[in-house]
């Protein structure tokens, strides 16, 4: 592996490509910027998403220094993989980052970690260790994240369950740090903004009254075709049976999603189909919503953070914490099951209340600080291995007695 530079700033290439990566890496980038005496963040966008990535970055006032702009309509997985891998090579060659940070399980994250590995650049993986143990669900994310795990040097696991998954795959415990999920940091950041600015967009038509609002998102590849048709059937049935309920659905731009959704759900008075929302507007909408009905990964974390019950329209989830805590139910894509679950929450206040008041298992909003502290400590250790480890560790970080490697001390960051 390439030798880490001594002295000077640590160049951290943060690679992102899709909406959720931008939202979950924004707190890390902001924290790296805040600590500019030590870090030089370099934001590299693959452009796997175009409009949706720009929307997400704008919410945090961030702009990438590089944008590969790889998005094509109806792009295939191999096209994205090849374009990101090839596009990052010259950037990594000229910029020589000390470390590459990726998040989650997208094709951008996988291809970026492979590009870094090919050049001997260590990789830090944010949101490491999520697993369903079903390699086709979610597809291709389950395999992407497993491959990233075996490339990465540093694993920022959001929860203890994620950490245990990594340990089961023989990942060195000293390289895993449980940080919480950075999406909680992102939510805190946006809610501070919402406290200052007016919140709900008037065109949602939701200001009047306190009637129930169901917020829907769905986009997973494994749902294309029949499962998505079933999801639409359930939403239509709910709209017809419950005229008192508003259903708001910001539709993903993927034509495999947008076309069938608009075909099935246009024209009903209590269904509002919107384009993707900027993150500030979306957080305001989640705040107003009664129930989140979704197949998204991020919403399964945001729901418990906001006290909103989440109904997960998937057969598997890599976020068992929310389900175990009782904050989310796995309802699959069977229309009857979806309708029954929604109506139970609408009609049984005790059930609703129980779900809405579960503790948030995804962290305390300080994940990015932990990640950046670990990067700082890791750099300190790897750039100066000849240092006296007992004397030079920053306060609060001295290695535990008998620690076999300096990175063992990073376990001190574990917060839960
Ligand atoms: C990707 C990720 C998925 C993540 C999701 C978040 C992979 C394999 N999938 O899936 O893990 O949950 O993003 O949304 O990495 N499009 C636009 N404009 C945009 C974004 C997308 O037009 O701003 C359309 C394009 O036609 C594009 C298609 O959506 O070809 C699919 O985008 P892609 O990134 O390949 O897959 P997602 O389903 O978005
Ligand atoms: N989101 C958003 N605008 C929208 C829909 C979702 O900002 O119109 C946010 C949402 O709050 C979450 C993230 O996008 O933080 C989830 O993205 P997505 O569902 O595309 O991906 P996943 O989480 O499934 O990977």
* CATH number reported for the structural domain that contains residue 401 in this entry: 3.40.50.2000
**Same-domain status, 339 and 379:** no
Spell out the alpha helix ranges (H) of 42-168.
Answer: 51-58, 77-95, 107-118, 141-151, 160-168
Q: What percent of the chain shows pLDDT beyond 90?
A: 84
pLDDT band at 391 (very low <50, low <70, confident <90, very high): very low
Strand order in the sheet with 246-250: 271-274, 246-250, 213-217, 291-294, 310-312, 328-330
pLDDT exceeds 70 at position 7: no
**What CA–CA distance (Å, rounded) separates 262 from 255?**
10
In this prediction, residue 403 carries a pLDDT of 33
253 lines ligand 1 (CB under 6 A): yes
CA-CA-CA-CA dihedral for 205, 22, 314, 348, to nearest 10: -40
Q: Among 133-142, 224-233, 245-254, 394-403, which is the least confidently predicted range? A: 394-403
- Verify that 234 and 168 share a domain, yes or no: no
pLDDT digits (tens, 9 = 90+) for 83-110: 999 999 999 999 999 999 999 999 999 9
Mean pLDDT computed over every residue of the chain = 90
Is 191 part of any domain?
no
Reported as a pLDDT band with limits 50, 70 and 90, residue 315 is very high
288 and 406 inside one domain: no
Q: Whose CA is nearest to atom 3 of ligand 2?
A: 277
Statement to judge: residues 113 and 135 lie in one domain: yes
Q: What is the pTM of this model?
A: 0.93
The reply to whether 197 falls in a domain is no
Q: Are residues 152 and 246 in the same domain?
A: no
The answer on 378 and 313 residing in a single domain is no
Domain presence at residue 56: yes
Two tokens, residue 358: 């579960």
User: Which one from 50, 221, 262, 411 is the annotated catalytic residue?
Assistant: 221
* Residues 253, 270 within the same domain: yes
Q: For residue 409, what pLDDT is reported?
A: 44
Establish whether residue 46 lines the binding site of ligand 1, counting it when its CB lies within 6 angstroms of any ligand atom. Answer: no
If you ran DSSP here, which 8-state letter would residue 4 be given? P
Q: pLDDT at residue 239 above 90? A: yes
End-to-end CA distance of the chain: 32
254 close to ligand 1 (CB < 6 Angstrom): yes
Residue from 127, 302, 315, 377 carrying the catalytic annotation: 127
For residue 161, pLDDT beyond 70: yes
Domain boundary at 312, 332, 356, which? 356
- The answer on 215 and 343 residing in a single domain is yes
Helix 107-118 / helix 77-95 crossing angle, nearest 10 deg: 40
Is residue 188, in this structure, part of any structural domain at all? no
Q: pLDDT higher for 386 or 99?
A: 99
Domain boundaries, position 305: 205-356
Is residue 384 scored above 90 in pLDDT? no
Last residue of a domain, one of 337, 356, 375: 356
Percent of the chain whose pLDDT exceeds 70:
89
Query: Do both 229 and 115 map to the same domain?
Result: no
Does residue 86 belong to any structural domain of this protein? yes
Residue 6: its pLDDT value, please?
63
Residue 240 included in any domain = yes
Helices 279-288/182-196 angle, 10° precision: 90
| Known active-site residue 252 | yes
- Which ligand 2 atom minimizes the distance to the CA of 55? 7
DSSP for 186-220, please give it: HHHHHHHHHHHS--S-GGG---SS---EEEEE---
Rounded Cα–Cα distance for residues 19 and 59 (Å): 11
Does 268 share its domain with 310? yes
Q: Is 192 exposed, middle or buried (0-12, 13-18, 19+ CB in 10 A)?
A: exposed
CA distances from 335 to 164, 233, 341, 361 (A): 34, 6, 10, 29
Q: Is the pLDDT of residue 111 over 80?
A: yes
Position 247 pLDDT exceeds 80: yes
Task: Write down the pLDDT at residue 381.
Answer: 77
Residue 134 domain-assigned (yes or no): yes
pLDDT in tens, 197-224: 767 888 787 765 679 999 999 999 999 9
Number of domains in the chain: 2
| C-alpha closest to that of 158 among 358, 24, 336 | 24
Distance separating alpha carbons of residues 63 and 54, to the nearest angstrom = 8
Please give the pLDDT value at position 5: 67
Please indicate, yes or no, whether residues 161 and 289 belong to a single structural domain of this protein. Answer: no
Asked if residue 189 is part of any domain, the answer here is: no
Residue 48 Cβ < 6 Å to ligand 1: yes
What is the pLDDT at residue 1?
A: 64
Same domain as 346, residue 256: yes
Q: Ligand nearest 298 Cα, by number?
A: 2
Is residue 375 within 8 Å of 12, Cβ to Cβ?
yes
Instruction: Give the Å distances, CA to CA, from 233 to 151, 230, 267, 333.
Output: 42, 5, 14, 10
In this structure, which ligand is nearest to the CA of 79? 1
Question: CA 322, 344, 363 angle in degrees (round to 5)?
Answer: 15
Q: Is pLDDT larger for residue 304 or for residue 410? A: 304
């Amino acid at each position: 592996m390439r030798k880490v530079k001594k002295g000077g700033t640590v160049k951290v290439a943060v690679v992102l490509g899709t909406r959720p990566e931008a939202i979950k890496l924004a707190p890390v980038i902001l924290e790296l910027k805040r600590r500019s005496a030590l870090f030089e963040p370099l934001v590299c966008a693959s452009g796997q998403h175009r409009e949706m990535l720009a929307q997400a970055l704008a919410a945090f006032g961030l702009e990438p220094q590089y944008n590969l702009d790889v998005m094509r309509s109806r792009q295939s997985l191999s096209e994205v993989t090849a374009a990101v891998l090839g596009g990052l090579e010259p950037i990594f060659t000229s910029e020589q980052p000390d470390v590459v940070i990726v998040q989650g399980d997208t094709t951008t994250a996988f291809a970026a970690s492979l590009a870094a590995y090919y050049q001997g650049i260590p990789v830090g993986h944010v949101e490491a260790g999520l697993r369903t143990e079903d390699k086709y669900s979610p597809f291709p994310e389950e395999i992407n994240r497993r491959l990233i795990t075996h490339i990465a040097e540093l694993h920022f696991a959001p929860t203890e369950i994620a950490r245990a998954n990594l340990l089961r795959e023989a990942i060195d415990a000293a390289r895993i740090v449980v940080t919480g999920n950075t999406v909680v940091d992102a939510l805190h950041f946006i809610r501070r903004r919402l406290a200052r600015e007016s919140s709900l967009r008037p065109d949602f038509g939701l200001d009047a009254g306190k009637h129930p609002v169901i917020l829907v998102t769905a986009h997973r590849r494994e749902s294309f075709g029949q499962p998505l048709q079933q999801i639409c059937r359930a939403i239509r049935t709910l709209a017809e049976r419950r005229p008192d309920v508003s259903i708001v659905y910001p539709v993903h731009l993927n034509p495999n999603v947008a076309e069938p959704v608009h075909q099935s759900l246009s024209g009903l008075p209590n269904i509002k189909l919107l384009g993707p929302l900027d993150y500030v507007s979306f957080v305001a909408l989640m705040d107003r919503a009664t129930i989140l009905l979704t197949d998204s990964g991020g919403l399964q974390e945001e729901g418990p953070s906001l006290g909103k019950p989440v109904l997960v329209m998937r057969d598997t989830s890599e976020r068992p914490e929310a389900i175990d805590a009782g904050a989310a139910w796995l309802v699959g894509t069977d229309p009857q099951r979806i309708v029954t679950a929604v109506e139970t929450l609408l009609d049984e206040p005790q059930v609703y209340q129980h779900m809405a008041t579960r503790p948030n298992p995804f962290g305390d909003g300080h994940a990015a600080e932990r990640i950046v502290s670990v990067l700082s400590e890791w750099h300190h250790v790897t750039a100066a291995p000849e240092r006296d480890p007992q004397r030079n560790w920053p306060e609060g970080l001295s290695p535990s007695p008998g620690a076999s490697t300096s990175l063992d001390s990073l376990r001190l960051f574990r917060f839960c």
